[in-house]
Structure 1
Amino acid sequence: MYQDQEQDREQNHGQAINEIEGFLLWEAEKDRARTRAEAFCAGLPWLTDSQRREVELRYCQDQRDASRAYLERISVRSATLRTEYEGVYRALRRRLITALLSGSVAVAALLAMTAVGLTAR
């Protein structure tokens, strides 16, 4: 029971770390979009201040939308690969266990035959 609680605690810590990391990565992405928007607007010196703010806002929103769509595609692909790899891992594990058991049976049979052969003399 204590081990189960410890595993749950470790899983919760891992989940919390993943959430914090995701939050920090998203904030960095938003900062990057803001920096790119400012650089984009710097190349348009004829914009008024209100136009500049509007362009920066729209640029940032477009960048965030593109980033979110990209991250969602990555997430779906990661889940697909994880499912696929888990299936392959299970199949390999079954093969390994089957081979190990078959080898053990073969060794046991060989030892039994050797023992019978030695006692028959």
Structure 2
Amino acid sequence: MRRGRHQEPAGDRDSGLADETEGFLLAHAHHEQARREAQDLCARMPWLTTAQAEDLTGHYIRRRLDVTRDLLLTTAHRADQLRQEYEARYAGLRRALLKRHTAGICAVLVCAGGTSALAHLLTR
């Protein structure tokens, strides 16, 4: 069966699914870690009622996940900035290298042409 124009190749689909699964597992791990931290905090405050402990746990988990999300977004934004900077620098270096190689080839061709012309004049 042939793939249509709008279908993703199997490798891209698998990679996307793997990335999505990894993201889900990472988010779940962060949530569980936040829940454990909140429970540890509540355990150190034995005077809290069950409702207060649940309320504190919920607030702690939300705040902790917000902080984690902000850190991850900041890191991803900085990684994107660095990628753009490196790509721009790489493109500039590639252009400079191409110019130098072009100049070198031109110099070799000029020298070869001059040598050929000189040899032709001397053999006359």
**Aligned counterpart, 1:17:** 18
Secondary structure of the corresponding residue to residue 47 of structure 1: coil
Counting helix residues as a fraction of each chain, which structure ranks higher? 1
**Aligned counterpart, 1:31:** 32
Gaps of 5+ in 1: none
Which of these two proteins has the greater Rg computed from alpha carbons?
A: 2
**Aligned counterpart, 1:53:** 54
Between the aligned residues of both structures, percent identity stands at 31
Deviations 1:7-27 (A, max 9, x none): x63444444333332222222
**Aligned counterpart, 1:76:** 77
* Letter aligned with residue 77 of structure 2: V
**Aligned counterpart, 1:119:** 120
Secondary structure of the corresponding residue to residue 99 of structure 1: helix
Change (3 A) 1:74 1:51: same
The alpha carbon displacement at 1:60 in A equals 0.5
Deviations 1:31-68 (A, max 9, x none): 11112112211211222222222111111011011111
**How far apart are the structure 1 equivalents of 2:65 and 2:107?**
61
Give the TM-score normalised by the residue count of structure 1: 0.79
Change (3 A) 1:15 1:87: farther
**How far apart are the structure 2 equivalents of 1:116 and 1:13?**
63
Farther-moved stretch of structure 1 (47-56 vs 9-18): 9-18
